[in-house]
Amino acid sequence: MREAFHDQLDSIFADLADVCGNVQQAVRLATQALLTGDAEKAEEVISADSVIDEATVRVEDNCFSLLSLQQPVAGDLRVIVSALRMVSELERMGDLSVHVAKIARLRVPAIAVPDQVRPTVARMAEVAEDMVARVAQIITERDVEAAIVLGRDDDEMDMLRRTSFSQLLSDDWEHGVEAAVDIALLGRYYERIADHAVSVGNRVVFVVTGQFPVSTEA
């Protein structure tokens, strides 16, 4: 009975990794739509959000089923509660990808990202997608060290966010208020995707060790 229960727990984590893969694809396609002005790709991301939502509901249902039927305690309870928190984070990451896609769609046939800030935004997107991909592996392998490294690597995203603000507030910004608002929002969306990725990684650490990583920030 206990072996079957732990198989179910492993299945929940496999499902979480699958959701993470869907989120990674959403981030990638949303970025492509953003940087190329591709309305079809933007619509694909927006439509596919329902797939992520349905997958997260299935994970939640499985978690609640285990809670009610198995009445887990101690470490097993920690795993299920953490899985519920993680699926919420992943769902939000999918929503943020949709926000990026909607900005892309709104500006078609133009491209929302001016050339002046394109390298910064493109790098933010690259970092966000990479962090999501690494989270999928962290979930699958329950890799504590990789999760801790992921938290440290979030510093690059914070730096890029500051850079984007400096660019849109500079005296040579010539793209108007509308573009400035877009860039401010995009920076926030990618930053939040990274933050949620770190949070999921931290919860994996909690599942394995029973403790959250200690912040190294001053």
Q: Give the integer Cα–Cα distance in Å for 209 and 192.
A: 25
Determine the 3-state secondary structure of 175 from DSSP. coil
DSSP letter assigned to residue 110: S
Residue indicated by tokens 């229960």: 5
Residue indicated by tokens 């919860």: 203
- In this predicted model, which residue has the larger pLDDT, 214 or 59? 59
Q: Enter the pTM of the model.
A: 0.91
pLDDT of residue 4: 74
pLDDT of residue 217: 47
Q: Give the integer Cα–Cα distance in Å for 157 and 149.
A: 14
Q: Which helix (H) or strand (E) holds 35?
A: helix 2-36
Q: Give the integer Cα–Cα distance in Å for 90 and 104.
A: 22
pLDDT level of residue 215 (50, 70, 90 thresholds): low
- CA quadruple 143, 133, 194, 50: dihedral sign: negative
Q: Give the integer Cα–Cα distance in Å for 88 and 49.
A: 14
Q: Give the integer Cα–Cα distance in Å for 72 and 78.
A: 9
For residue 179 the two structure tokens come to 């573009």
pLDDT level of residue 83 (50, 70, 90 thresholds): very high
Q: Are 34 and 112 in contact (CB under 8 A)?
A: yes
Q: Are 161 and 194 in contact (CB under 8 A)?
A: no
pLDDT of residue 119: 96
- Which tens digit of pLDDT belongs to each residue from 30-39? 999 999 999 9
Domains of the chain: 2-209 (1.20.58.220)
Statement: residue 109 has pLDDT above 60:
yes
Q: Give the integer Cα–Cα distance in Å for 213 and 201.
A: 9
